[in-house]
């Protein structure tokens, strides 16, 4: 504790003498070279992104470039395992599962001003004028939050540009591009609409999303407000406006609509943080919801501030990932003390709009193509109604599994209260258990229970979650079907129920690794249960050196060796 605090105060923002001119760099923070990471800890997700060390929150600046490289930036405190001292960390991926850690992309521009959330776009037409002779210029737009001795100062919107494809940025010299006197005005997310840029920005405590337009990313004009819709919680944050295809039951594109996603925090229905969304139309200046329905992106409570990648071509399914945590306990989870990092992103998800039975239009949130991380198929079984699989996966090095279940030929008139399919994961060593399951009859709930996991507890660390999945209608004349997919990855569990109509994201912190899967189904005769279980690769393994350290994209320009060793040995001493 003393050591870390001492360093933090001693380190308060010396002027950088390296690459980032006009930025303030804490001497404990490396410039030009990535922060190294140890991704071997028992709680460290193996196929999810998590920061090399320190504290991560919202995903930022997400875009996919013309070569198909996905760029993820993130709210990053590289000097502690709690929030504060916000930078933009950076990582890239070709498949959204194997991430290359890159040098920190945005540093505070001056003392006591922090780089909060925002987005990035590819300025292919040089609308900004920052890119004399290239079509792969990147412009980041983000909130700078000023703090005074005695409290929060204004939050303004600012830009920085990158001529090297998003690896390093220069601050624009005429910031801010949207000024403000409010300390609650943040998280700009920019898209291109026909012939102009559009930003959605949260007036956090006035429950409004402001829409602004710009020809050049520098000059912005207020266009409209989307005010007081859905759940308010106590703040609106991280708005997203994104166009998506509407698909029919066969997957054909029949229309397109916009999604307005708003993250609320604190005050979510289950406590803390959650994301709601609205479906509607957008005409370049105004978003008009289709109906008065508030929809949620997740039925558990560890999926916040998701952002949609810029640059996914028009007409295609969109792609997002969120912060897999909740402010109610994000800064307390045991990975900080035990392994020196806190928070992972969700797995990447694919999104489009379609009709869910009875409910009507929803945004499907389905796991992105997992083929790059599949290791070996551990089980592939089909059984008739009553089935049981017990799998010891203690020899799976990643500790991570992918599970697919299809249930077909369900005669719903034969269902009882006991018609269920459950999947659990246990530690025989500690007796801990993570449970999930679906009730095919009655109110058709899908549940997750992390209450049997003992490595972390907290008054807000809710144990049990459920949703109601109205799956494909069965009747006496038609047989019904149902499906789910799940990923378990050491300390994060995600389920995609019924083709992604319902998604549940939970973090959990076992005192011993979970190594025993049990699946049990009890369904009427004639129903067919088909299950595939795969072990997953350790995505990080290919980036480790002989010592097991992930160094990331180390280039010759960096100068931080002296700095690094100041703060980081193997663990934080918080
Ligand atoms: C990485 O972390 C593991 C687990 O906490 C630890 O056993 C190992 O010594 C660490 N490796 C390095 C190079 O610090
Ligand atoms: C770039 O210019 C083309 C041709 O004018 C236009 O169709 C397109 O919408 C523009 N895109 C962006 C992002 O500026
Ligand atoms: C980009 O914009 C700048 C500033 O307007 C201009 O000098 C430059 O020629 C432009 N480059 C291209 C390729 O249009
Ligand atoms: C938009 O909302 C913000 C935040 O409530 C408010 O300050 C502003 O006046 C609104 N603009 C208009 C035109 O209503
Ligand atoms: C967009 O919609 C708003 C609200 O309905 C309307 O006032 C505005 O004129 C529309 N703009 C265009 C370009 O259609
Ligand atoms: C479902 O079961 C009922 C009762 O046995 C039977 O009458 C009905 O034909 C079955 N439906 C189908 C589609 O097989
Ligand atoms: C599934 O779990 C529920 C809740 O614990 C239990 O009531 C049910 O019997 C289980 N079903 C099977 C097939 O084991
Ligand atoms: C489940 O169904 C989907 C779609 O038909 C298929 O691609 C997948 O292989 C099936 N998985 C299992 C485990 O049966
Ligand atoms: C490493 O960073 C440089 C820019 O500094 C970039 O050009 C290169 O593509 C990156 N390599 C990888 C593997 O990410
Ligand atoms: C790297 O940083 C160290 C310590 O700040 C400094 O002494 C050294 O001159 C720097 N080297 C380069 C190549 O900039």
Centroid of ligand 10 to alpha carbon of 18 (angstroms):
9
Centroid of ligand 9 to alpha carbon of 94 (angstroms):
12
The answer to whether domain 2-31+48-333 and domain 371-536 are alike in fold is: no
CATH topology of domain 371-536: Jelly Rolls (2.60.120)
Q: Where are the domains of the chain?
A: 2-31+48-333, 371-536
Q: Is the peptide bond before 176 cis (omega within 30 degrees of 0)?
A: yes
**CATH architecture type of domain 2-31+48-333:** 5 Propeller (2.115)
**What is the pLDDT, as a whole number, of residue 299?**
98
**What is the pLDDT, as a whole number, of residue 476?**
67
- Catalytic member of 42, 58, 179, 384: 58
Note if 58 is an active site residue.
yes
Centroid of ligand 7 to alpha carbon of 387 (angstroms):
12
Please indicate whether residue 192, judged by its CB atom, sits closer than 6 Å to ligand 2. yes
Residue-wise DSSP of 338-354: HHSEE--BPPPEEEEEE
**pTM here?**
0.93
519-565 tens-digit pLDDT: 999 999 999 999 999 999 999 999 999 999 999 999 755 544 434 43
**What is the pLDDT, as a whole number, of residue 556?**
52
**What is the pLDDT, as a whole number, of residue 193?**
98
**What is the pLDDT, as a whole number, of residue 408?**
96
Please indicate whether residue 520, judged by its CB atom, sits closer than 6 Å to ligand 7. yes
> Measured between alpha carbons, how far is 153 from 185 in angstroms, rounded to an integer?
11
Nearest Cα to 52, choosing from 77, 28, 23, 27?
77
Please indicate whether residue 414, judged by its CB atom, sits closer than 6 Å to ligand 6. yes
Low-confidence stretches of the chain (pLDDT beneath 50):
1-21, 559-574
> Measured between alpha carbons, how far is 69 from 465 in angstroms, rounded to an integer?
35
Determine the 3-state secondary structure of 272 from DSSP: coil
CB-based contact 301:273 (threshold 8 Å): yes
């Amino acid at each position: 504790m003393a050591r870390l605090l001492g360093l933090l105060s001693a380190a308060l923002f010396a002027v950088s003498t390296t690459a980032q001119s006009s930025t303030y760099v804490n001497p404990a923070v490396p410039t030009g070279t990535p922060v190294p990471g140890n991704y071997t800890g028992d709680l460290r997700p193996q196929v999810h992104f998590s920061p090399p060390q320190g504290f991560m929150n919202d995903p930022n600046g997400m875009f996919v470039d013309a070569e198909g490289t996905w760029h993820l930036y993130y709210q990053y405190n590289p000097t502690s395992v709690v929030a504060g001292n916000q930078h933009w960390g950076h990582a890239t991926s070709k498949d959204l599962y194997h991430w290359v850690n890159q040098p920190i992309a945005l540093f505070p521009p001056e003392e006591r001003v922090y780089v909060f959330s925002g987005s990035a776009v590819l300025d292919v037409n040089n609308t900004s004028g920052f890119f004399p002779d290239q079509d792969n210029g990147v412009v980041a737009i983000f909130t700078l939050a000023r703090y005074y001795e005695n409290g929060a100062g204004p939050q303004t919107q600012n830009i920085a540009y990158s001529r090297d494809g998003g690896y390093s940025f220069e601050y624009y010299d005429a910031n801010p591009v949207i000024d403000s006197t409010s300390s609650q005005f943040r998280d700009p997310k920019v898209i291109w609409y026909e012939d102009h840029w559009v930003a959605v920005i949260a007036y956090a405590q006035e429950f409004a999303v402001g829409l602004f337009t710009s020809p050049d990313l520098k000059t912005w004009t207020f266009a409209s407000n989307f005010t007081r819709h859905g759940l308010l919680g106590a703040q609106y944050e991280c708005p997203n406006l994104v166009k998506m295809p509407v698909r029919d039951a066969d997957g054909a594109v029949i229309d397109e609509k916009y999604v307005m996603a708003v993250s609320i925090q604190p005050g979510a229905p289950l406590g803390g943080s959650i994301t709601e969304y609205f479906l509607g139309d957008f005409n370049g200046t105004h978003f008009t919801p289709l109906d008065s329905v508030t929809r949620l992106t997740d039925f558990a409570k560890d999926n916040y501030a998701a952002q949609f990648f810029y640059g996914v071509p028009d007409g295609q399914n969109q792609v997002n990932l969120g912060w897999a945590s909740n402010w109610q306990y994000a800064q307390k989870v045991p990975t900080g003390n035990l392994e020196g990092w806190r928070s992972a992103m969700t797995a990447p998800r694919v999104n489009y709009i379609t009709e869910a039975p009875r409910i009507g239009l929803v945004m499907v949130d389905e796991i992105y193509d997992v083929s790059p991380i599949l290791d070996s198929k551990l089980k592939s079984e089909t059984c008739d109604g009553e089935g049981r699989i017990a799998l010891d996966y203690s020899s799976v090095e990643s500790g991570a599994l992918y599970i697919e279940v299809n249930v077909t030929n369900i005669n719903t008139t034969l269902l009882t209260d006991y018609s269920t399919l459950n999947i659990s994961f246990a530690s025989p060593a500690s007796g801990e258990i993570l449970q999930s399951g679906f009730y095919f009859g009655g109110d058709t709930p899908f549940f997750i229970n992390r209450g049997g996991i003992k490595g972390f507890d907290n008054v807000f660390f809710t144990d049990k979650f459920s949703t109601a999945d109205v799956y494909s209608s069965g009747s006496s004349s038609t047989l019904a079907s149902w499906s789910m997919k799940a990923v378990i990855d050491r300390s994060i569990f995600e389920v995609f129920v019924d083709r992604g109509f319902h998604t549940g994201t939970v973090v959990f912190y076992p005192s011993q690794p979970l190594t025993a899967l049990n699946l049990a189904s009890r369904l009427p005769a004639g129903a067919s249960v088909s299950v595939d279980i795969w072990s997953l690769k350790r995505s990080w393994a290919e980036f480790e050196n002989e010592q097991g350290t992930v160094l990331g994209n180390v280039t010759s320009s960096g100068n931080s060796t002296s700095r690094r060793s100041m703060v980081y040995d193997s663990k934080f001493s918080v």
